[in-house]
Amino acid sequence: MGSTLQSTDAKNKLEDLSGIVIKPGENPYDALIRACNGDPAEIQVLYSVHRVRRNEQQKEKFLAEDFKELIVDPFLLRIERPEIEPGFKDWRNCLVLWARPPDHIIKLCVHLQVLLKKAAPHLWLMPPQRMHMTTLEITHSQTPETIYHIVTGPLRPVTPILTNYTYKHRSRLVKPQLSYDLSAIAISFLPAAGEAVISPAPVAPHPEDIPHPGLSADTDAYSYHHLRRDTFDYARCAGLEIESRYVTPSAHVTLGRFLGQEDHLTPEARRKWVETIDGINRWLASEVWDKHDAQFIGEWIVGQERGLEVRSGPLWYGGGKTVMAGEGF
């Protein structure tokens, strides 16, 4: 029965709303970088355009007079409520490259989860130890045997390169904001573009190991989107066919998913949900963004504390196993 279930992707199209057009066969991350001439400020703008447009699009859906229902994930529902289908197992095996948030970002995420849970008591929350950001999805919805042959075959020679890539190629993410749709809610970030560095200082690499001296606002020319482009290239050059479900200018960590309609049955409840998100986003912009002395730090240097992580298995909700984790700084 489980194999006939339909993923939320089928009902919840994730499209690039930045306006960038990707040519068939090209590295999809090159298109945005090329359109921006590699300018970090322009890259940040397109990431912002995407998430603003998507939030506006989803707000309209929540507040629409003909609203029908939330998109409940049938796989997660059966995992969390095994009485629905005893013995159910998620058969969708995936292979990904994850970035794990540092402790100060996890602290912020947990605080946001508490606020969201007050507004939607039945919201499923991503456990803190499972929080992640997908830098590259290599393949998904495969059998364990298929994943095993990829991991032990073409991926093996480049696994150490991919997982340790952030040690010498450091990119920053800033300006966190809640992004949401009819199935889930996440915290999203923008690639940095000259903002002051406010996160805890990492251990600097040896000067000869990195193409720029230390870490500062001047180093944002290498953005998170460049990191995604480079990992895509390394994986493809190893002979891997990259089969990502979607490619969007988004850097996000899922915070929660909907398992039922209980919290959003009336127009008033849905409006309260939208207003809660808008209020939290105003708080983030005024009290967290670019703040040195704030209770929460909203900047993330990708690879800090933990390198990238090649992960395989049924990992849609933070599960699976680690093939290799890279060196943090």
- In tens, the pLDDT along 6-27 reads 666 655 555 666 666 667 667 8
pLDDT of residue 214: 43
Tell me which of 211 and 198 has the higher pLDDT: 198
Which are the contacts of 112, defined by CB distance < 8 A and separation ≥ 6? 178, 187, 255, 280
pLDDT of 2 > 70? The answer is no
Domain 42-325 matching CATH 3.90.1140.10: the answer reads yes
Name the band, by pLDDT with cuts 50, 70 and 90, for residue 39.
Answer: very high
What count of other Cβ atoms lies within 10 Å of the Cβ of residue 9?
Answer: 15
| Paired sense of beta strands 184-191 and 309-313, if any | unpaired
Name the band, by pLDDT with cuts 50, 70 and 90, for residue 329.
Answer: confident
The pLDDT mean for the chain works out to 90
pLDDT of 210 > 80? The answer is no
Which of 293, 248, 325, 317 lies closest to 94 in space, CA to CA?
317
Question: d(Cα 146, Cα 2) in Å, to the nearest integer?
Answer: 19
Question: d(Cα 184, Cα 14) in Å, to the nearest integer?
Answer: 12
pLDDT of residue 248: 84
